[in-house]
Amino acid sequence: MAGTMSPSQVELDETAVENFREYLRIPSVQPNINYDACVVFLKKQAQSLELPIKIYHVHPEKPIVILTWTGTQPAKPSILLNSHMDVVPVFEDKWTYPPFSAHMDEQGNIYARGSQDMKCVGIQYLEAIRRLKLKGQRCERTIHISFMPDEEIGGVLGMKDFVHTADFKALNVGFSLDEGVACPKDHFYMFNGERPIWHVGIKCAGSTGHGSIMLDNTAGEKLRVIIDRFMEFRGAEKAKLKDPKNQLGDVTSVNLTKISGGIQTNVIPAEFYATFDIRITPSVDHEEFEATIKRWCEEAGPDVTYSFEKKDPKIENTKLDDSNPFWLAFKKCCDEIGVELQIGIFPGGTDSRFVREVGIPSICFSPMNNTKILLHDHNEYLNKDIFLKGVEIYTKIIPAVASA
């Protein structure tokens, strides 16, 4: 407020923690989320930061909320600080404290769904900007802080469609930061690429008849071959993880997630279905991999077909070299403030894949070290001091990339 003294560090920290806990108490949990409470909360934050806020709707009931801090050179490509408002479901009986209470224990651990994934990062962006503004700092590039819907269910009605709109193009984004993952050790994880997701369904059709007859060409025999081929491949990829140099993002993961078929115990089924969740490491040739799946189906016998529930395209990793000035600025800043990075390919999926797909470099980074990885797990929590340290880290990183 005009004429009043600047808030102390203690007051700033208290405000940051209060805002974090208030945001965590909004149960924006999948599925069928009403995002109204998130929008009201973010409008209040925009007001307190004296930043303009815009709400875009690519789809009804799916608000995209963007706060903007205009730079001193607004014609330059802007920086996008991205986060998502939605969180995954909870099994409340498995939690020590109610998952939307944001309970803080004596150690300062704040328990809530979304504390790591990723309401923390959204608030850390805002609180870092609050501190920079209070110091009178300005950045060359305009900064957009985005809060997206539906990331936890694939971002289809959120970032996936938004990047192709005139509204997104008008933001003139040159570089984006998005969520990473907690690291249990002293260093921090950072990711410059993701494994495309393939959800493959295999249908095995065959002879049907009485359960007492030893028929040829049964769906069950074919299903066994399919499962064997996928599991042999899985075993070979899993073995690569014995080498400490390899992280999960460096291998192609395969998991059998659904099997269905059969109507009665004494009837040989006409069909079996198996579904596999596959995450393809960026070095794999997609055409070759699909040809392998086709070959496995042929080896299983006639009338074995595959189809895709989901088939992400191959997306180029963000370059970490001299051609990317944003990376150089990010890395230099991390070196200067003692943030040691372990760089890899993100094992899961984030909204940044859609940003990369339209040619914008994106880095995935959550400033949470010395923290057990609890994304999507029971009793998800983040320690208050780790959260506040993350705010401080962003007060250095944001101006660095915004001046690149």
Nearest to 352 by CA among 221, 173, 204, 89: 173
Spatial distance between the Cα atoms of 266 and 322, rounded to a whole number of angstroms: 66
Dihedrals phi, psi of 139, to nearest 5 degrees: -110, 150
* CB half-sphere exposure, 127, CA atoms < 13 A: 26
Nearest to 342 by CA among 246, 254, 264: 246
Of 13, 127, 151, 312, which is the active-site residue?
151
Residue 151 falls in the annotated catalytic set = yes
Spatial distance between the Cα atoms of 306 and 223, rounded to a whole number of angstroms: 12
Q: How far is CA 308 from CA 37, 203, 274, 305, 350, in A?
A: 36, 11, 12, 11, 20
Q: How far is CA 35 from CA 58, 60, 87, 102, 303, in A?
A: 14, 11, 11, 19, 46
Of 86, 117, 127, 150, which is the active-site residue?
86
CB atoms within 10 A of CB 361: 22
Name the strand (E) or helix (H) holding 144: strand 143-148
CB atoms within 10 A of CB 228: 13
Q: Residues 340, 346, 350, 354: is their CA dihedral positive or negative?
A: positive
- 84: its two tokens: 């998502």
- 258: its two tokens: 């659904």
Are 167 and 173 contacting, i.e. CB atoms less than 8 angstroms apart?
Answer: no
Spatial distance between the Cα atoms of 126 and 395, rounded to a whole number of angstroms: 10
Residues marked active site are found at: 86, 151
